[in-house]
Amino acid sequence: MLRLRAGSVHPVTAPPISDGAVLIAGDGRIAAVGPHARVPTPPGVEIREFPDGVLVPGLVNCHTHLELTHLAGRVPTPEFAAWIRRIRELKDGTRLPEFRHAAEQGMRDCWAAGVTCVADTGSTGAVMEVLQALGGRGIVYQEVFGPDPARCEASLAELEAAVERLHPFASDRLRLGVSPHAPYTVSAPLYRAVAAFARRRGLPLAVHVAESREESALVRDGAGPFADALRARGIAVQPLGLSPVQYLVQLGVVQHGTPALCIHCVQVSQQDVALLKAAGAAIAHCPRSNRAHGHGAAPFAAFRAGGIPVGLGTDSVVSTGDVNLWGDALAVGLAGEDALRMLTLEGARVLGLESAIGSIEVGKQADLAVFVGLLSDRPTVRPSDALLTVVAGQVVHRYIGSA
C-alpha cells in the first residue's frame, strides 16, 4: 500500500483539497482520498509527502509515436511530403533493438512529464513490447501502410500477422488497436479491409486524417505532392471531390457504432465536424505539431461545442521536441483547472478509459502525478518535471531530490 500527501490534491471531479492525501490499496486502486487528517494510515503503508506539491491524476497523451524518440532533432520540418519521406527513410535504416530503446526512452520521458497513459501509433511493435515489460498503460495502434490497391491483400496479411504477434502483450492495462495510417499511404480497398478487420476482432481504430493541405489536395483534387509521388510509383490517383473526413466516412472507416480516434483534423469544415459527431468519433488534437509543420489550427472550440470528445497529444518528438502536454494545453488557450481536466479526464474519455482513469476517485486506478507550482500563476518548475509519477499504484518515476 502507498499513501501520498500533498499541499493540494486535485481530483478533477471534485473541488481541490488543501493538505490532502490519497491512499492506494495493494491492488493498485484508490482506496481513499480527502483531507490528510481524514485519510487512514494503515500499519506498514509506505508514506510519501510533498508539502509543496500538487497531486493530480496522471496525464493522458492522446497521440504519440514513441518508437521515433531516437529521431528527435534529426529531421528538419520542410515541405510536409518531403518530411514524411525522410522519416520513412530513417525508419527503414533503424533496427528493431534501436526502436525498442527509443520506445523505452519515450515512455520514461512521458512518465517524467507526469503522463501515465498514451495512445501510440507505430509500425514496429516495439512500443507494445516495451509498455508490457515496463508495466505502462495505454493503447498501441499497429500501423498499416499500402497505397497500391493491388497490394491490399498483402498489406492486410502483414497487419493480421503483426496483430497475432502482439496480441499476447495485451492486458487490462494495455490494449492493442490498428491504424490505417493516412489517405496518402492507404488505398481505398485497404481502408475498407482494415476497418472490417477491426470490427471483427473488436480492436480500437485510429487514423491520421485532415492533417495537411497536401492531404486535402490529394483527396479532393487528385493533385499536389502526395498525388505526384503516388503517380510516380504507377499508382492511379483520381480527384474525388471530397474532404478527407468525407472520404473516410464514405469508406466506412469512420462510422457510427465503431468509434474511431481521428488524429489531427486540422483541415475540416463545419460539415466535417458534423460528420465526425454523427459518426461518434473522438479527436486527438496536436496543436504544437500542427504549428511546427505549418498545417494551421484545428477548430478546437468547434469540436468541443459540437460535443465531440477531444483530447490533446504531443505527436512525435520529431515534430515537437518533447512530450510536455502542458505546452499543448497552452497552445489552445487552456490553463489551470481547465487545462488539468483536458489533460486527464477528457483525454481518458477520448480513449474510452474514463471509468478507470482520469480523476482521483475511490475505486479508480491509481494513476497519479505530483508537481510543484503546477496550477499557480508563476510555476516554480517546468510543468514537464513531475516529482512523482504512479501507474496502477506503482511508482514509475521519481524526480531526483524529491521525497
Residues 100, 129: contact at Cβ < 8 Å?
Answer: yes
H or E segment and range at residue 289: helix 287-292
| Residue type present at position 338 | D
Pairing of strands 2-9, 46-57: parallel
Question: Is the fold of 2-57+359-398 the same as that of 59-350?
Answer: no
Q: Classify domain 59-350 by CATH number.
A: 3.20.20.140
Nearest of 3, 18, 13 to residue 340 by alpha carbon? 13
pLDDT for 403 equals: 47
Residues 403, 50: contact at Cβ < 8 Å?
Answer: yes
CA dihedral 36→368→337→328, nearest 10 degrees, is 160
Q: C-alpha grid cell for residue 96?
A: 528493431
Q: C-alpha grid cell for residue 71?
A: 529521431
Nearest of 162, 164, 161, 173 to residue 133 by alpha carbon? 173
Sequence-ordered strand ranges (E) for 197-322: 205-209, 260-264, 282-285, 310-312
Distance CA 45, CA 26 (A): 10
Alpha helices in 70-169 (DSSP H): 80-92, 96-112, 126-134, 152-166
Distance CA 160, CA 197 (A): 8
CB within 8 Å of 310: residues ≥ 6 apart: 282, 283, 284, 285, 300, 303, 304, 346, 350
Domain 2-57+359-398 falls under CATH 2.30.40.10: yes
Domain spans of the chain? Answer: 2-57+359-398, 59-350
Output DSSP code: residue 175: E
Determine the angle formed by the axes of helices 225-232 and 80-92, rounding to 10 degrees.
Answer: 50
H or E segment and range at residue 347: helix 347-350
How far is residue 101 from each of residues 25, 107, 124, 324, measured CA to CA in Å?
32, 10, 12, 20
Mind listing the pLDDT tens digit of every residue in the chain (403 residues)?
999 999 999 999 999 999 999 999 999 999 999 999 999 999 999 999 999 999 999 999 999 999 999 998 888 766 898 889 899 999 999 999 999 999 999 999 999 999 999 999 999 999 999 999 999 999 999 999 999 999 999 999 999 999 999 999 999 999 999 999 999 999 999 999 999 999 999 999 999 999 999 999 999 999 999 999 999 999 999 999 999 999 999 999 999 888 899 999 999 999 999 999 999 999 999 999 999 999 999 999 999 999 999 999 999 999 999 999 999 999 999 989 999 999 999 999 999 999 999 999 999 999 999 998 776 554 444 666 899 999 999 999 998 754 4
Residues 375, 340: contact at Cβ < 8 Å?
Answer: yes
Residues 57, 358: contact at Cβ < 8 Å?
Answer: yes
Total-model pTM: 0.96
Give the 3-state secondary structure of residue 285: strand
| Residue type present at position 85 | R
